[in-house]
Amino acid sequence: MKHVGSSVFPFALALLLSFSWATSAHTHENFLQCMTLRSENSSSTSKVIYTPSNSSYSSILQFSIQNLRFSTPATPKPLVIVTPTHVSHIQAAINCSQTHGMQIRVRSGGHDYEGLSYVSDVPFVLIDLIDLRSISVDAENSTAWVEAGATTGEVYYRIAEKSRTLGFPGGLATTVGVGGHFSGGGYGTLMRKYGLAADNIIDAQLIDAKGRILDRESMGEDLFWAIRGGGGASFGIIVAWKIKLVPVPSTVTVFTVNRNLEQNATKLVHRWQYVAAKLHEDLFIRINLTSVNSSQEGKRTIQASFISLYLGVIDKLLPMMQESFPELGLMREDCIEKSWIESILYFAGFPSDESLDVLLNRTSPTRSRFKAKSDYVQEPISELGLEGIWQRLYEKEGETAFMLLNPYGGRMSEISESEIPFPHRASNIYEIFYVVFWEEEGTAASESHISWMRRLYRYMAPYVSKSPRGAYVNYRDLDIGTNGKGNTSYERARIWGNKYFKSNFDRLVQVKTTVDPANFFKNEQSIPLFSSEWKKGGD
């Protein structure tokens, strides 16, 4: 990799950094100049840099913001946005950010729950990988190279173009970016058979803090381990992943069975907890819990939707359900046979007549303001415990909330807790995703919904994993590690670190300290450098 000479160095030093909106034009000028000098391909550089004075700055910034809580006039904005079309642009952006003392944020799909990929309190450059999203599928060898800016929908589409009997075990929403998603784990309907997306990564291309382009061999197994579940943002910029494709049958079956309280929902959810993680690994049944209007006027009820993918035909599914979960009363009419790629549309919530091309549409159909959290369940929750959840879903803020219960077991239980940084394996029967949405702008609505979510989370404490109470890093939650315990950033990091990564946290800290000793790749929940304070307790 060649950088253009050292002639610009004095100019870099001359920039004495007091960043504010007032100096942004100045910064832009210097940053742009630095970018041009540093880029291997300088002719293209000016086409990939935006400052607030470029008319498309706003639309580029807004485009992939999924959580509109972080899209207000008061939300801090990047001084510069870079949309690389070439690795040399990334290398230059890293060098120039360091030279000008700016932080960077890296965005692939923009689905971070706390906006960490595009918001920072300090002056920063946004590197948005939207234009690095090529995908090349090698069906013969069941592998693919996928650039980080691709979405899961694009990946599934390109696989299906080549083969209807290959798939990939990633997430269900089709607008999620693989840069964030795969580096934090990534689960979907194939998880019980094949594990997480991160369990199926076989190589990667990453640019480190020194601007070096590394692959699996040159980065070494420690760093390659860390970026498969430890979150990418702490270690470098992931440019591309090489993934292992998995076999899927040409016909799969999906169903959704809705049961409300008058239809024994409480008993069925209770029973599901004993069944779901032990089912055949070809069968995935998740539950969506919401409060809905009851048929009795003016009353509400709880609806449990049992949503399922079976890797096979209806004729095999029905006897399996009769044997394992007869209480649900699944009927042949509830079941629909599809190809695996059509099941992706089904789980993403698209109508059945929608064209597969919708997978290439990067605009999420469900942008709104939200707060989400996660939990892991190791023992079934009692019916009484479930009824307490119903009470909270009936509250006003709970009307726009839902909870997803995602079954573990199968392949998830076979992979060791330390295989990759994602540690939530055999001890769990399912994972809970909680989310509450609201339409209203302003702090009042946001505060009331967020505090509702925190109350629900407190209520759940006795029923979920403990010491640590596990959480999923891709369901980023900045509440974790800020609730009273610990008053240094190290103490707090240890708290969220143990929740997301359990004992893998220490190895992540070691890798971080080795590969990014200056802590350039940094955000509110990035892996910290090793500190002697680590020795002092923490839970």
Ligand X SMILES: Cc1cc2nc3c(=O)[nH]c(=O)nc-3n(C[C@H](O)[C@H](O)[C@H](O)COP(=O)(O)OP(=O)(O)OC[C@H]3O[C@@H](n4cnc5c(N)ncnc54)[C@H](O)[C@@H]3O)c2cc1C
Residue 176 interacting with ligand X (CB under 6 A)? yes
- The CB-of-26 to ligand X minimum distance in angstroms stands at 26
Residue 295 interacting with ligand NAG (CB under 6 A)? no
> Which of 290-298, 375-383, 412-420, 492-500 is the region at the interface with ligand NAG (rule: CB under 6 A)?
290-298
Site for ligand X in 43-72 (CB under 6 A): 66
Q: Which residues pair with 339 in a beta bridge?
A: none
Candidate list 118, 156, 475, 500, residue with the active-site label: 475
Q: Exposed (0-12), middle (13-18) or buried (19+): which is 476, by Cβ within 10 Å?
A: buried
Residue 301 interacting with ligand NAG (CB under 6 A)? no
The one of ligand NAG, ligand X, none whose footprint includes residue 295, by CB under 5 to 8 A per kind, is none
What percent helix, strand, coil does the chain show, rounded to 5?
Answer: 40, 20, 40
Closest of 476, 469, 517, 472 to residue 495, by C-alpha: 469
Q: Cα 6 from chain centroid? A: 39
Nearest residue (CB) to ligand NAG, 78 versus 421:
78
By rule CB under 6 A, what string of x and - marks binding of each residue 146-165 to ligand X? --x-----------------
Contact pick of 19, 402, 520, 534 for ligand NAG (by CB under 6 A): 402
Residue 173 interacting with ligand X (CB under 6 A)? yes
Nearest residue (CB) to ligand X, 321 versus 344:
344
Compute how many other C-beta atoms are within 10 angstroms of the C-beta atom of residue 485: 12
DSSP-assigned states of every residue in 69-113 = GG-STTS---SEEE--SSHHHHHHHHHHHHHTT-EEEEESS---T
How many chain residues bind ligand X (CB under 6 A)? 35
Residues 498, 538: contact at Cβ < 8 Å?
yes
> Which of 70-78, 159-167, 168-176, 499-507 is the region at the interface with ligand X (rule: CB under 6 A)?
168-176
Q: Exposed (0-12), middle (13-18) or buried (19+): which is 532, by Cβ within 10 Å?
A: exposed
Nearest residue (CB) to ligand X, 100 versus 369:
369
Site for ligand NAG in 346-385 (CB under 6 A): 361, 363, 365
Question: What is the length of the chain?
Answer: 539
Residue 116 interacting with ligand X (CB under 6 A)? yes
d(CA 90, CA 513): 22
Nearest residue (CB) to ligand X, 270 versus 425:
425
Is residue 519 left, alpha or beta, with left meaning phi > 0 and alpha meaning psi from -120 to 50? left
Torsion of CA 139, 144, 149, 151, to 10 degrees: 50
The one of ligand X, ligand NAG, none whose footprint includes residue 49, by CB under 5 to 8 A per kind, is ligand NAG
Nearest residue (CB) to ligand X, 188 versus 486:
188
- The CB-of-231 to ligand X minimum distance in angstroms stands at 6
Q: Which residue has the tokens 């008061």?
A: 74
Contact pick of 35, 61, 89, 109 for ligand X (by CB under 6 A): 109
Site for ligand NAG in 130-159 (CB under 6 A): 138, 140-141
In angstroms, the first-to-last Cα distance of the chain is 44
> Between 504-515 and 216-226, two packed helices, what is the crossing angle to 10 degrees?
140
Contact pick of 24, 30, 35, 49 for ligand NAG (by CB under 6 A): 49
How many chain residues bind ligand NAG (CB under 6 A)? 33
Site for ligand NAG in 430-489 (CB under 6 A): 486-487
Q: Tell me the backbone φ, ψ of residue 85, rounded to 5 degrees.
A: -115, 0
DSSP letter assigned to residue 228 = T
Report H helices in 291-410.
314-324, 340-347, 383-394
The one of ligand NAG, ligand X, none whose footprint includes residue 410, by CB under 5 to 8 A per kind, is none
Active site residue 430: no
Q: Which residues 6+ apart lie within 8 Å of 95 measured at CB?
A: 3, 34, 38, 211
The one of ligand NAG, ligand X, none whose footprint includes residue 54, by CB under 5 to 8 A per kind, is ligand NAG
Positions in the binding site for ligand X (CB under 6 A): 66, 105-113, 116-117, 129, 148, 171-173, 176-177, 179-181, 183-188, 232-233, 237-238, 366, 474, 523
Positions in the binding site for ligand NAG (CB under 6 A): 3, 6, 9, 38, 41, 43-44, 46-47, 49-50, 54, 85-86, 95, 98-99, 138, 140-141, 263-264, 288, 290, 293, 298, 361, 363, 365, 402, 404, 486-487
Active site residues: 475
